[in-house]
Amino acid sequence: MPHIIVEYSANLEDSVDVQKLIDDLHQVVVDSGVAEVAAIRTRAKRRDVYRVADGDPKNAFVQVVMRLRIGRSEEMRSKLADALLTATDHNLQRAYMTHNIAITVEMEEIDNITARKNSIRSKSEAA
């Protein structure tokens, strides 16, 4: 962990480089030091069926959800949320010219039991 999941409205596809957004958000988390690089996963989900606010087809949304295990301070999570919002906003500059966009960044702490295996760590140790 952590996982960064970006949902975005399909109408942004032509004005946002989604891969760059994902790369930038991933780097924000790497730079934060909140977790080792091998544990960070970042992905996007395009949403084809949606309605934003009054239904104007120019309305769009981006929601960034970061799921991480409990144990980080509120201050760290707040700074990280702000950094994710800044990176998202930066990547939407071109889209603002043609869309009204609602952005949300949400931090979710995971306190349930999870089972996992990560062979990426052993790859990093071998290098």
Burial (0-12, 13-18, 19+ Cβ within 10 Å), 65: middle
Q: Which pLDDT score, from 0 to 100, does residue 81 have?
A: 97
pTM (two decimals): 0.88
Number of domains in the chain: 1
pLDDT < 70 positions in the chain: 113, 116, 121-127
Any idea what the CATH number is for the domain that residue 42 is in? 3.30.429.10
Q: Which pLDDT score, from 0 to 100, does residue 122 have?
A: 65
Q: Which pLDDT score, from 0 to 100, does residue 118 have?
A: 73
Residue range of the domain that includes 7: 3-126
- For 34, the token pair is 């909140």
